[in-house]
Structure 1
Amino acid sequence: MNKNIIYVFLLFLAVTLKTIGQNHEHIIINKEQLSYIKENLGQAPLFDQTLAKVRAKLDAEIAAGFDVPIPKDLAGGYTHETHRKNYLLMEQAGSVYRITGDEKYAIFIKEMLFKYAELYPTLDLHPATRSYSRGKLFWQCLNDANWLVSVSQAYDSIYEWLNNRERKLIEAQLLKPFAEFLSTGNPQFFNRIHNHSTWACAAVGLTGLAIGDEQLVKNALYGLEEDGLSAKAHDNDGALIKSDTKGFLAQIDGLFSPDGLYSEGPYYHRYAIYPFLLFAVGLENAKPELEIFKYRDGSLLKSVNTLLAESNEKGDFFPLNDAQKGMSIYNSSLISAVDIAYYYGGRNPSLLSIAKTQDAVNLDATGMAVGLDLPKAEPLVRKSMVIKDGANGDLGALGILRSGDGKELIFKFGSQGMGHGHFDKLSYSFYNKGFEVVQDYGMARFVNIEQKGGGGYLKENTTFAKQTIGHNTLVINETSHFNGNTDIAELHAPYLNFKDISNTNIQVISASDTNAYEKIKMTRTLFMLDDSFFDNALTIDLFKVNSEKPNQYDLPLYYQGQWISTNFEYQIPDNLGKLGSANGYQHIWKEAESTLDGSNMQFTWLNQGKFYTYTAASHQGDELIAGRLGATDSNFNLRRDPMLIQRRKNATTTSFASITETHGAYSPVDEKAINPYSKIKSINIELDNEEFTVLRIKTDDKEGVLAIANKDFDSKHLVNFKGTNLKWEGPYYFNLMENKQ
Structure 2
Amino acid sequence: MSIQKAFLLLTTVLGLIFAPHSFAQEHPSLILTKAGVEKIRANLGKTPLFDASLEKVKQQVDAEIALGIDTPIPKDFSGGYTHYRHKLNFVIAQKAGVLYQILQDDKYAIYVRDMLLQYEAMYKNLPVHPQERSYARGKLFWQCLNDSNWLVYMSQAYDTIYNFLTAEQRQKLENNLFRPFANFISLENPAFYNRIHNHSTWGNAAVGMIGLVMNDEELIQRALYGIEDDGLPVGGVDNDGGTIKVKGQKKGFLANLEDPFSPDGYYTEGPYYQRYAMYPFLIFALAMENTRPELKVLQHKNNVLLKGVNALLNLTDADGNFFPLNDGQKGMSYYTASLVTAVNIAYYYGGKNPQLLSIAQKQNQVLLDQSGLAVAIAIREGKAQPYVKQSINLSDGINGQQGGVGILRYGNEDLTLVFKYAAQGLSHGHYDKLSFSYYQKGNEVLQDYGLVRFVNIGQKGGGNYLKENATWAKSTIAHNTLSQNQQMHFGGKYAVASQHHSELYFYDDSNADVQVVSATESNAYPGSKMHRTMALIKDEHFEQAYLLDIMKVDSNSKNEYDLPFYYMGQVISTNFEYQTPTNLQPLGDKNGYQHLYLEGKGKAAANNTQFSWLGNGKYFTLTAITQPSDQILLTRIGANDPEFNLRRDAGFMLRRSNSDNTTFVSIVEAHGSYSPVSELSLNSSSNIKSASLLYDTDQYTAVEVIDIKGNQQVFILSNQNADKSKQHKVTIGGKTYRWQGPYYYQ
Question: Would you say 1:315 and 2:324 are equivalent positions?
Answer: no
How many Å apart are 1:533 and its aligned residue? 4.1
Equivalent residues of 1:204, 1:217 under 8 A apart: yes
Is residue 73 of structure 2 the alignment partner of residue 70 of structure 1? Answer: yes
Offset at residue 630 of structure 1 (A): 0.5
- The reply to whether residue 687 of structure 1 matches residue 692 of structure 2 is no
Q: Return the letter of the residue paired with 1:705.
A: V
Contact 2:636/2:649 (<8 A) preserved: yes
Is 1:392 the counterpart of 2:395? The answer is no
Partner of 2:630, secondary structure, is: strand
The answer to whether structure 1 residue 719 and structure 2 residue 730 are counterparts is yes
For 2:578, the equivalent position in structure 1 comes to: 570
Distance 1:308 1:565 in 2: 37
> 2:90 and 2:32 mapped to 1: Cα distance?
18
2:386 equivalent in structure 1: 379
Aligned residue for 1:47? 50
From 439, 446, 455, give the equivalent of 1:438. Answer: 446
Partner of 1:36: 39
Q: SS in structure 2 opposite 1:682?
A: strand
The answer on whether the counterparts of 1:19 and 1:163 sit within 8 Å (CA) in structure 2 is: no
Could you tell me how far apart the structure 1 residues matched to 2:86 and 2:691 are?
58
- Maintained 8 Å contact 1:21/1:159: no
Mapped partners of 1:64, 1:130: distance in 2: 32
Q: Secondary structure at the match of 1:160?
A: helix
- Relative distance call for 1:127 and 1:694 in structure 2 (3 A) is same
Q: Alpha-carbon deviations, 1:144-185, whole Å to 9, x = none?
A: 001110011001100001111111111111111101101111
How many angstroms apart in 2 are the aligned matches of 1:30 and 1:220? 22
Q: Within 1, Cα distance between the matches of 2:686 and 2:270?
A: 35
Deviations 1:5-58, CA, capped at 9 Å, x for gaps: xxxxxxxxxxxxx99567446211111111121122222110110001110111
- Equivalence for 1:335: 340
> Cα deviation per residue 1:486-507 (whole Å; 9 max; x = unaligned)?
1111111111112220111111
CA distance in 2, matches of 1:149, 1:261: 23
Distance of 2:721 and 2:636 partners within structure 1: 41
Farther off after superposition, 267-276 or 59-68: 59-68
Cα drift, residue 599 of structure 1 = 2.3
For residues 572-621 of structure 1, what are the alpha-carbon distances to aligned partners after superposition, in whole Å with 9 as ceiling and x for unaligned? 01111110000000000000000124321111111111100000010111
- Deviations 1:684-721 (CA, angstroms, capped at 9, x unpaired): 11211111111111112211121111112232111111
Query: Which structure's CA Rg is the greater one?
Result: 1
Structure 1 pair 569–51 and aligned structure 2 pair: CA distance change class (3 A): same
Encode CA deviations 1:389-424: one digit per residue, 9 max, x unaligned: 101111011100001142100000011001000001
Q: What is the CA–CA distance in structure 2 between the aligned matches of 1:609 and 1:630, rounded to whole Å? A: 25
Query: Of 191, 204, 213, which residue of structure 2 is paired with 1:188?
Result: 191
Match of 1:361 in 2: 366
- Residue 517 of structure 2 is aligned to residue 509 of structure 1: yes
Cα offset for 1:322?
0.1
Q: Residue in 1 aligned with 2:608? A: 600
AA of the residue aligned to 1:399: G
Conserved 8 A contact 1:600-1:616: yes
Q: What secondary structure sits across from 1:245 in the alignment?
A: coil
Distance 1:139 1:266, change over 3 A: same
- Specify the code of the residue in structure 2 equivalent to 1:396: G
User: Residue 199 of structure 2 aligns to a residue in which SS?
Assistant: helix
1:704 counterpart residue number = 713
Question: Deviation of residue 536 (structure 1)?
Answer: 3.2
Q: 288-297 or 541-550: which moved more?
A: 288-297
Q: How large is the RMSD of aligned CA atoms in angstroms?
A: 1.5
Contact kept in structure 1, 2:419 and 2:435, CA below 8 Å: yes
Q: CA deviation at 1:90?
A: 0.3
Identify which range, 266-275 or 684-693, moves more after superposition: 684-693
Amino acid at match of 1:393: G
1:672 and 2:714 aligned = no
User: Equivalents in 2 of 1:383, 1:633: separation in Å?
Assistant: 40
In 2, Cα distance between equivalents of 1:227 and 1:122: 25
Give the CA deviation at 1:534.
Answer: 2.7
* Match 1:449 to one of 445, 457, 467: 457
**Alpha-carbon distance in 2 for matches of 1:712, 1:208:** 54
1:547 correspondence with 2:555 = yes
Residue correspondences, number: 704
Match of 1:236 in 2: none
**Contact map agreement 1:322 1:442 (CA 8 A) in 2:** yes
Aligned to 1:280, the other structure's residue is in SS state helix
Q: SS of the counterpart of 1:681?
A: strand
Mapped to 2, the partners of 1:19 and 1:557 lie a distance apart of 62
Aligned-partner Cα distance in 2 for 1:516–1:45: 54
Deviation at 1:62, TM superposition (A): 0.7
Q: What is the match of residue 239 of structure 1? A: none
Does 2:737 match 1:734?
no
Counterpart code for 1:381? V
Indicate if the aligned counterparts of 1:593 and 1:625 stay in contact, CA closer than 8 A. Answer: yes
Counterpart of 1:209 in structure 2 is 212
In 1, are the aligned partners of 2:575 and 2:605 still within 8 Å (CA)? no
Change (3 A) 1:302 1:171: same
TM-score by structure 1 length? 0.93
The answer as to whether partners of 1:537 and 1:663 remain within 8 angstroms in 2 is: no
What is aligned with 2:83? 80
Residue type at the aligned position of 2:561 = Y
Counterpart in the other structure of 1:9: none
Structure-2 separation of matches of 1:259 and 1:23:
36
Q: Is the 8 A contact 1:602 1:616 kept in 2?
A: yes
* Kept in 1: contact 2:225–2:253 (CA 8 A): yes
Q: Deviations over 1:467-518 (max 9, x none)?
A: 0000000000000000001111111111111222011111111111101110
C-alpha distance in structure 2 between counterparts of 1:124 and 1:713, whole Å: 60
The answer as to whether partners of 1:505 and 1:532 remain within 8 angstroms in 2 is no
Q: Percent identity?
A: 51
Q: Give the secondary-structure state (helix, strand or coil) at the position aligned to 1:621.
A: coil
Q: State how far apart, in whole Å, the 1-side matches of 2:165 and 2:604 are.
A: 78
Provide the C-alpha distance between the structure 2 equivalents of 1:538 and 1:301, rounded to a whole number of angstroms: 34
- The SS at the match of 2:164 is coil
Equivalent residue for 2:276, pick from 262, 271, 296: 271
Q: Which residue of 2 aligns with 1:3?
A: none
The answer on whether the counterparts of 1:479 and 1:583 sit within 8 Å (CA) in structure 2 is yes
- CA-to-partner distance for each residue in 1:91-143, whole Å, 9 max, x for gaps? 11011111111110001101111111111112111000000000000000000
* Partner in structure 2 of residue 240 of structure 1: none
Letter matched to residue 409 of structure 1:
L
Contact 2:27 2:34 (8 Å CA) reproduced: no
User: d(CA) in 1 for partners of 2:250 and 2:376?
Assistant: 39
Corresponding position: 1:59 with 2:70: no
1:633-644 to structure 2, matched below 5 A, reads 633-644=641-652
SS class of match (1:158): helix
What corresponds to 1:479 in structure 2? 487
SS at match of 1:725: strand
- 1:323 is aligned with what amino acid? G
Question: For residues 597 and 452 of structure 1, what CA distance do their matches in structure 2 show?
Answer: 43
User: Gapped runs of 5+ residues in structure 2?
Assistant: 1-20, 232-247
Q: Secondary structure at the match of 2:339?
A: helix
Deviation, 1:66, is 2.4
Find the aligned partners of 2:313 and 2:103 in 1 and give their Cα distance: 33
